[in-house]
Amino acid sequence: MISFHTSLKGPEAKGIPARVSEIKTWTRSALSLKQDTTISINELACSQPGCPPKQVVVLILSKAVPARKFEIHKALLDISNDDVVNAVFKMD
């Protein structure tokens, strides 16, 4: 399920669904998630000092365990597998 919504147009818009899908794959693999786990990815504004203007919030929803969440303080298209792995390690 892709819950990422964007009004972007042009070449950037094409890269976004692909990156959302990659981030889901990286999250699933970093946490060894089961296939029935839902991962929701949203790019939001970030107003913390010293941060890029965008952050990506990853929500992990499973019937079996409480929902979990982590943030990566980068724009969606700047996120790599390493960012996901690092964020997962720091998650509560």
Residues near Zn ion (CB under 5 A): 46, 48, 51, 55, 73
Pair 28, 37: CB distance under 8 Å: yes
Q: Which is nearer to Zn ion, 24 or 74 (CB)?
A: 74
Structure tokens that stand for 40 in this block: 């929701």
Q: Are 27 and 80 in contact (CB under 8 A)?
A: no
User: Which one, 51 or 67, has the nearer CB to Zn ion?
Assistant: 51
Ramachandran angles phi, psi of 39, nearest 5°? -115, 125
Question: Residue 45 CB, nearest distance to Zn ion (Å)?
Answer: 9
Nearer to Zn ion by C-beta: 33 or 59?
Answer: 59
